[in-house]
Structure 1
């Protein structure tokens, strides 16, 4: 999505407070920087240039699986860290974790359909970027009322909403696929729009001070960088 089009969509969202709008603008700027970071990642460059192989795809899935498996864990930990003053936020986060806690099974099925061995992907260790990303997210999720993790969800859900469908199409085109092994990406491309809309709805609620605004944006920036590092490591791990 082009920057102006995204800005227009954002302005149409129900974010009405001054701090909420400022937070949203900061998150947008963080997202566009994240897009630039992804554009410098070798495996993504090959995908965008049509030089992507089925081996590249299997390696990408193998490296993404651990982050997907751990996703429900940090989101659930996040939910448990909200006290009763944030019971409404906790409910939203619990619902989010429920929606995604078994997504890794679709990813595993895609890996096998693309010619991979199930045992190999299930036994693969986290790469360096995934280790850092998971450690950071679990640390933040363990803090009292971790409203800043809205920034983490913004980056990760935004990736699904804005890029997963395009990546799926590019994978199939480059590897002569028929959609049978890009179901994980297609699923997120279709469903993460709803997840992101729910985040819009939470911004006014959780961003009630300048401190909260800065914390949310900072966490989004850290998660963006560590997610890009995770993808950079694809060519060096597994």
Structure 2
């Protein structure tokens, strides 16, 4: 009889649970997102003043396909909160109502720079947008999708902290009117209020360790996928 030799992994231990406060963990996600955004080609060109009207045209065309889905997954998330999470359900329903016209704001900017409505409506999500929308519909379809707060932290944060900066920079470099960058400027104002509401939930003592982990994980995934969406323009 031949003796069998058992083998086992050595030197590996699963990561310990991060016990830092949720805001601190999310700030880390945000800092990593800002580093990644700095390497996105169109944003590098924007910062350097080398961006073109065609670049802006492409960006709006690509963003529109994901923006259309935004209010839909928020509404789905709202429908999956039970009565014990009534405040989250109400907030999500109100937010979905506010967001469901966003694609029309973007559409007006697109047409104002010479884009075609038929072309815009016929557009397809790029691979980053496909991944982002697919992931968010998956998160929103589960029971009590508290993890979606992580997505909102990233997306609303981009609106409040980055969209206005980008819109004004496009206007300055390309000589555009406010009516041609309204979508971005609008979000710089509207999303400040949204982030204030969200912060109330994120600092609530109702979020246990599992919920906090889910929120941080969702925020990390959405941050990476949003960068992918901005990087893979027209890649379908």
| Higher helix residue share | 1
Alignment coverage as a number of residue pairs: 219
What are the residue-to-residue correspondences of 1:166-185 with 2, within 5 Å? 166-185=165-184
Aligned-partner Cα distance in 2 for 1:27–1:131: 24
Alignment partner, residue 44 of structure 1: 43
In 2 relative to 1, CA 187–21 (structure 1 residues): closer, same or farther, beyond 3 Å? Answer: farther
Alignment partner, residue 107 of structure 1: 106
Unaligned runs of 5+ in 1: 1-18
What are the residue-to-residue correspondences of 1:1-238 with 2, within 5 Å? 22-205=21-204, 208-234=207-233, 236-237=234-235
Aligned-partner Cα distance in 2 for 1:28–1:96: 23
- Partner of 2:178, secondary structure, is coil
- Which structure's CA Rg is the greater one? 2
> Superposition RMSD on alpha carbons, in Å?
1.6
Aligned-partner Cα distance in 2 for 1:110–1:101: 16
In 2 relative to 1, CA 20–181 (structure 1 residues): closer, same or farther, beyond 3 Å? Answer: farther
- Partner of 1:180, secondary structure, is helix
User: More relative contact order in 1 or in 2 (CA 8 Å, sep 6+)?
Assistant: 1
1:21 Cα offset (Å): 7.5
If the length of structure 2 is used for normalisation, what is the TM-score?
A: 0.89
Deviates more, 1:207-216 or 1:221-230: 207-216
If the length of structure 1 is used for normalisation, what is the TM-score?
A: 0.89
